[in-house]
Amino acid sequence: MKKKDIFFTGLMLFALFFGAGNLIFPPYLGMEAGKAVWPAIFGFVVTGVSLPVLAVAAVALAKDGIQSIGNYVHPLFSLCFSIAVYLAIGPFFGIPRGASVTYEMGIKPFFNGGGGALSLLLFTIIFFALVYWLSLNPSKLVDRIGEILTPILLLSIAVLCITGIIQLRNPLQAPAEKYASAPFFKGFMEGYLTMDTIAALAFGIVVVNALKDRGVQQRTAMVKATIQAGFIAGTGLALVYIATALLGARMAVNGPFANGGDLLSSAAALLFGSGGKLLLGVIVALACLTTCIGLTAACAQYFHEITPSISYKTYVTIITIFSLVVSNLGLNQLISLSVPVLTMIYPLAIVLVVMSFFHRFYKGSAKTYGMALLFTAVFSVYDSLNAFGVEAKWLEPLFSWVPFFSVGLGWVVPAIIGAILGFMLDNIALKQHETA
């Protein structure tokens, strides 16, 4: 495997990861965190960079990607969890959000009246026609995205962020209330919204197939190349997150801003005048287009694998049409719907990925995986209900005693306890079987 091929595969992976959420959440985090921007963005990087790279490596280590990782628990769990992941990051939330963000930040500012439902519909038709065409041949993803689109995207982001950091000398503001205490953990939770850890479980198959198309066949070489590509992508993501968060922190005095998109639009206009709209439009369009292409290809490849009778092309058609319809709901509605779902799925994905690296230490015990995920699910479902606005105050005394509950990470200790309990039960069952 040539270093050049690994490098461009890494750039492709960066572009697949770097989409709507990656663009709008870090600058808003920087604005709200103010003087606490460094611990906050460090927490964001943990969930937004480290965990996705680990997830890609876990998929490469597994024989059949996310399906194999889920099989450690049970084949039925694997199927249900895999489908939930692909639907969440694909046609239900991830892909439509990419189109909506592109319209809100890249197209809408050029309309004097702010555009309307018809302009959104026309844009999404054009956007998804392009996604459809570029997704039809997944073997060309590295050439089209890694070698052409990503360098343009990185250059555009660098121009905006470096100019902003140099020219904006505003003092950092005091952190908002939610960042005043435990900014690291708040940043950690914000990293959920990028969807990258669960997206990585899907993108892993795209990376593996791209490496196979470049001649990598041996398992050890595949794992090594995937980890190297993941490191390249992770480095790029970390640098962009830090730069955009610092830009957001410097822009705080010019606020308030409704969201990260509003902040970036104002920063682009302040730094480059009318040309800033065009620059931001290029950044948003490239970031969201590349991610939507990758998600469409990954979802279509997965569903074609589990139902070979339906062609890859048919799945690409279904996914793009469904995503087009959902994207016309509007960005705010999509975000409000996605947060509770991600709050439930994300902890399960994190536990599954982390445990897969220690697989041999507990000899792939299904009870160890199952108990850890069961204990995690109890807390993630509770947090999801709260995010949906379901009143469950009477349950709070049952959960609030757990460490890290107040910062939204109450599932961490129960997951560890569940894994230990499952391991112990498995050993007891094994000894009983041996003495029987």
Please, which contacts does 357-363 make with residues 24 or more away whose CB atoms are closer than 8 Å? Answer: 357/54, 357/58, 357/61, 359/72, 362/419, 362/423, 362/426
Split at pLDDT 50, 70, 90, the class of 144 is low
pLDDT for the residue 414: 92
**Percent of the chain, pLDDT > 90?**
22
Non-local CB neighbours of 340 within 8 Å, separated by 6+ positions: 384, 385, 387, 388
Q: Are residues 9 and 118 in the same domain?
A: yes
Coil, strand, or helix at residue 217?
Answer: coil
Amino acid (one-letter) located at 87 = L
* 174-184 per-position pLDDT tens digit: 998 889 888 99
pLDDT for the residue 145: 67
Q: Are residues 201 and 315 in the same domain?
A: yes
- Name the DSSP class of 19: S
Task: Please count the structural domains in the chain.
Answer: 2
C-alpha distances (whole Å) from 175 to each of 24, 39, 219, 353 are 19, 12, 48, 33
The residue from 305, 328, 351 where one domain ends is: 328
**Percent of the chain, pLDDT > 70?**
92
Q: Are residues 278 and 413 in the same domain?
A: no
pLDDT for the residue 39: 94
Report whether pLDDT(240) > 70. Answer: yes
- CB of 262 closer than 8 Å to CB of 27: no
193: tokens are 């919204």
Q: How many CB atoms lie within 10 A of CB 406?
A: 12
Q: What is the pTM of this model?
A: 0.80
The residue from 328, 353, 386 where one domain ends is: 328
**Averaged pLDDT, 310-322:** 95
Q: Are residues 27 and 57 in the same domain?
A: yes
- DSSP codes, 106-175: IIGGGSTT---HHHHHHHHHHHHHHHHHHHS-GGGHIIIIIIIIHHHHHHHHHHHHHHHHHH--PPPPPP
Q: Are residues 182 and 320 in the same domain?
A: yes
- CB of 386 closer than 8 Å to CB of 408: no
Coil, strand, or helix at residue 288?
Answer: helix
**Averaged pLDDT, 244-251:** 92
CATH of the domain at 131: 1.20.1740.10
369: tokens are 């995986």
pLDDT for the residue 356: 85
* Nearest CA among 401, 423, 271, 298 for reference residue 355: 423
Q: Are residues 125 and 169 in the same domain?
A: yes
Q: Are residues 320 and 359 in the same domain?
A: no
pLDDT for the residue 331: 61
Non-local CB neighbours of 364 within 8 Å, separated by 6+ positions: 72
For residues 107 and 104, give the distance between their C-alpha atoms in angstroms, rounded to a whole number: 6
The residue from 328, 349, 372 where one domain ends is: 328
242: tokens are 């830090």
* Nearest CA among 131, 160, 145, 350 for reference residue 229: 145
Q: Are residues 357 and 302 in the same domain?
A: no
Return mean pLDDT, the chain: 84
pLDDT for the residue 19: 77
C-alpha distances (whole Å) from 197 to each of 202, 235, 372 are 9, 15, 18
Report whether pLDDT(147) > 80. Answer: no
pLDDT for the residue 139: 64
Report whether pLDDT(138) > 70. Answer: no
Q: Are residues 224 and 186 in the same domain?
A: yes
Lowest mean pLDDT among 144-148, 304-308, 369-373: 144-148
pLDDT for the residue 328: 87
pLDDT for the residue 172: 87
pLDDT for the residue 200: 83
For residues 343 and 245, give the distance between their C-alpha atoms in angstroms, rounded to a whole number: 23
| Ranges 107-111, 132-136, 287-291, most confident | 132-136
* 44-83 per-position pLDDT tens digit: 998 889 888 888 888 877 766 677 788 888 889 888 888 8
Q: Are residues 140 and 265 in the same domain?
A: yes
Q: Are residues 313 and 430 in the same domain?
A: no
165 versus 308: the higher-pLDDT residue is: 308
**Averaged pLDDT, 114-119:** 76
For residues 135 and 133, give the distance between their C-alpha atoms in angstroms, rounded to a whole number: 6
Split at pLDDT 50, 70, 90, the class of 419 is very high
Lowest mean pLDDT among 10-24, 161-175, 382-396: 382-396
| 16 sits in which H/E element | helix 3-17
Split at pLDDT 50, 70, 90, the class of 243 is very high
Report whether pLDDT(140) > 80. Answer: no
Instruction: Identify the domain containing residue 68 by its residue range.
Output: 3-328
pLDDT for the residue 64: 64
Q: Are residues 280 and 419 in the same domain?
A: no
Split at pLDDT 50, 70, 90, the class of 141 is low
pLDDT for the residue 330: 67
Cis preceding-peptide flag for 39 (omega within 30 of 0): no
Report whether pLDDT(319) > 60. Answer: yes
